[in-house]
């Protein structure tokens, strides 16, 4: 399975009982205001669902060793009782969802309600708007094209190149589908570089010239003009976050290598919105499965099992953030605030704790508000806009730190601002370092210069070494990375064979052969 890159079996239709349940669940979901495309369900045993999960939910992917590795990890987790996949759903139109065949009937209803929430979110959240809804076909096309390349170039050679590409798949710009980063060179830019020193003198008689056109002003204009010319001569003229795309467009690669890198970049951008909206997506789906199960779908005999399974899903482990728990509770918090009118100028300016505790204007806008939030926000703006001091206190959230003397983690602070800042920091760039291309002709030798936007956490130098080596092989020339380690400026270099680190305090100027 892992080396072939596809999973195939005859499609199984839903049993009559589940087909009837699907119709009922979807009718209830639409009655609550959810709007989603057609959903096609597949019933799988645990081996089959682990196979599909290892492919990211798609039955066909390009051949690569990592699928087999991920499958074995999931399989062992299931066999040892450490994890169980109840459902999976992918963002396509129609949407495909997978049910585990040994789920109870109550579980299957819960999963279907959860899936309706996910597909509604995929359909209407603006961060998913640019994604390819025919990605099931696109994944199959990618797999077929890479197999054809393997037939010509050889399996080992192609797999090694895929390893290089996957090592930088997180170096993309997840916001680029929504905004325009680069601008075309204008006629004004061209005229600016055609001549002149940039100093603009106003007409004045000789005895008044030094007052009308002060020398320091003219010098400042010349300096600004020269900086603009220098910026135009740089390539790129502004930092580029999409390192993967920049290497694709300008790296020294064979045609077949460019094709593979382009395909893997497309897949990275397809999955990016899921990382940007994990808390909201799972919270929205959990909100709706709890609403539909408790109000419409549960029988008396199923209440205990439902409560047990739902509690396991939203349980918070020490030191870890559960997106299901944070998402569902924050949506409920928003709904409650807008139902009671706890928003706006009057609410924010009132400092009387007793008045605010009993505040209820009967606004009844909660359901409308959460649909609006679902449409426009991602996890960062969701937390930044709607996390409140009351919510942090009610959920018992805190920041933690490692106590070296005690030898274990301890509660550092329950302060609202610190908790919020820590949550936003964890969500920023999904924990990956923020890297940009700042110069593609470093030292006038066609070498790539990167800049790490240091945000308080040092980069792991050994990981950076391996990634830079892979990037140098993709670029075709040496690669340099500017960062900070131990509060010191560090310049890392890799030419594809040798690694050096200038300014590294712990090891001096490290030098190693890759």
> E strand or H helix at 440, and its extent?
strand 435-442
Average pLDDT over residues 109-123: 97
User: In sequence order, what are the beta bridge partners of 258?
Assistant: none
Q: Identify the residue whose tokens are 């940009």.
A: 436
H runs (alpha helix) in 101-181:
105-124, 135-153, 155-166
pLDDT over 50 at 193, yes or no? no
In the block, tokens 């936007």 appear at 453
DSSP single-letter state for residue 294: I
33 HSE (CA, 13 A, CB side): 11
pLDDT score at 1: 46
pLDDT of res. 192: 45
CB neighbours of 26 closer than 8 A, spacing ≥ 6?
A: 36, 39, 112, 116
83 pLDDT band (50/70/90 cuts)? Answer: confident
Computed over every residue of the chain, the mean pLDDT equals: 88
| Cβ neighbours, 10 Å, residue 444 | 6
- Quick check: 162 and 64 in contact, CB under 8 A? yes
Lowest mean pLDDT, pick from 209-213, 312-316, 436-440 = 209-213
228 pLDDT tier (thresholds 50, 70, 90): low
Instruction: Using the structure block, give the residue that is written with the tokens 């939030």.
Output: 373
CA angle 333, 334, 337 (to 5 degrees): 85
Within 8 A by CB and 6+ apart from 180, the residues are none
pTM score: 0.85
Q: How many CA atoms lie within 13 A of 261 on its CB side?
A: 29
Contact (Cβ atoms closer than 8 angstroms) between residue 341 and residue 361: yes
Asked which of 228-232, 348-352, 450-454 is least confident by mean pLDDT, the reply is 228-232
Q: What is the DSSP letter of 293?
A: I
* Range picked from 269-273, 427-431, 508-512 for highest mean pLDDT: 269-273
- Asked whether the predicted pLDDT for residue 142 surpasses 70, the reply is yes
In 7-154, alpha helices (H): 16-31, 46-54, 65-79, 105-124, 135-153
pLDDT at residue 432 tops 90: no
Query: Could you tell me the residue ranges of all domains in the chain?
Result: 16-125+277-296, 315-428, 429-513
Distances 134 to 13, 137, 141, 142, 259 between C-alpha atoms, Å: 22, 6, 11, 13, 19
The pLDDT value given to residue 237: 83
Residues 6+ apart with CB under 8 A from 162: 62, 64, 146, 260, 264
d(CA 133, CA 322) in angstroms, rounded, equals 28
pLDDT in tens, 362-417: 999 999 999 999 999 999 999 999 999 999 999 988 888 888 888 888 888 899 99
- Report pLDDT for 426: 86
Would you state the structure tokens that stand for residue 159, as one six-digit string? 């797999």
Mean pLDDT of 6-22: 77
Q: What is the pLDDT of residue 230?
A: 53
Give the closest residue to 379 by CA, choosing from 174, 116, 97: 174
User: Percentages helix, strand, coil for the chain, rounded to the nearest 5?
Assistant: 55, 15, 35
pLDDT of 241 over the 50 cut = yes
The residue length of the chain stands at 514
Label the pairing between strands 39-44 and 87-89. Answer: unpaired
Looking at the DSSP bridge assignments, the partners of residue 375 are none
Q: How confident is the model at residue 75 (pLDDT cuts 50, 70, 90)?
A: confident
Q: Is the pLDDT of residue 17 over 50?
A: yes
């Amino acid at each position: 399975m892992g080396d072939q890159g596809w999973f195939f079996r005859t499609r199984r239709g839903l049993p009559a009982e589940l087909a009837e349940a699907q119709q009922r669940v979807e009718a209830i979901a639409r009655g609550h205001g959810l709007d989603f495309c057609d959903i096609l369900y597949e019933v799988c045993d645990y081996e089959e669902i682990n196979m599909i999960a290892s492919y990211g939910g798609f039955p066909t992917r390009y051949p690569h060793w990592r699928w087999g590795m991920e499958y074995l990890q999931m399989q062992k987790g299931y066999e040892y009782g450490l994890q169980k996949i109840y459902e999976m759903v992918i963002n396509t139109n129609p949407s495909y969802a997978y049910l585990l065949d040994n789920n109870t009937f109550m579980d299957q209803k819960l999963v279907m309600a959860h899936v309706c929430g996910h597909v509604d979110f995929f359909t209407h959240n603006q961060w998913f708007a640019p994604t390819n809804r025919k990605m099931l076909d696109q994944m199959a096309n990618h797999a077929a094209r890479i197999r054809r390349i393997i037939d010509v170039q050889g399996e080992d050679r192609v797999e090694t190149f895929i390893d290089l590409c996957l090592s930088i798949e997180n170096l993309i710009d997840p916001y680029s589908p929504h905004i325009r980063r680069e601008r075309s060179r204008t006629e004004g830019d061209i005229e600016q570089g055609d001549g002149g020193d940039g100093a603009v003198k106003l007409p004045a008689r000789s005895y008044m010239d030094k007052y009308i056109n002060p020398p320091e002003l003219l010098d400042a204009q010349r300096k600004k003009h020269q900086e603009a010319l220098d910026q135009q001569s740089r390539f790129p003229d502004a930092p580029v976050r999409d390192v993967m795309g920049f290497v694709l467009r300008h790296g020294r690669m064979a045609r077949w290598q460019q094709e593979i890198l382009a395909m893997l970049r497309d897949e990275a951008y397809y999955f990016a919105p899921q990382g940007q909206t994990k808390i909201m997506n799972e919270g929205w789906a959990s909100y709706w499965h709890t609403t539909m199960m408790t109000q419409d779908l549960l029988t008396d005999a199923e209440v205990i099992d439902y409560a047990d399974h739902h509690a396991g899903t939203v349980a918070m482990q020490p030191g870890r953030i559960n997106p299901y728990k944070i998402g569902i509770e924050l949506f409920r918090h928003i709904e409650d605030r807008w139902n009671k009118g706890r928003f706006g100028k009057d609410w924010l300016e009132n400092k009387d704790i007793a008045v605010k505790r009993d505040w209820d204007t009967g606004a009844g806008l909660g359901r409308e508000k959460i649909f609006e939030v679902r449409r426009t926000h991602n996890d960062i703006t969701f937390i930044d806009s709607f996390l409140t001091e009351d919510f942090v206190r009610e959920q018992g959230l805190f920041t933690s730190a490692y106590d070296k003397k005690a030898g274990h983690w301890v509660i550092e602070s329950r302060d609202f601002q610190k908790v919020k800042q820590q949550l936003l920091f964890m969500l920023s760039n999904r924990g990956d370092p923020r890297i940009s291309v700042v110069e593609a002709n470093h030292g006038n030798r066609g070498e790539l210069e990167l800049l790490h936007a240091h945000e308080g956490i040092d980069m792991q130098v050994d990981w950076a070494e391996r990634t830079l080596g892979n990037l140098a092989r993709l670029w075709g020339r040496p690669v340099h990375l500017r960062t900070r380690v131990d509060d010191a400026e560090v310049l890392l270099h890799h030419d594809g064979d040798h690694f050096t680190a200038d300014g590294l305090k712990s090891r001096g100027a490290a030098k190693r052969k890759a």
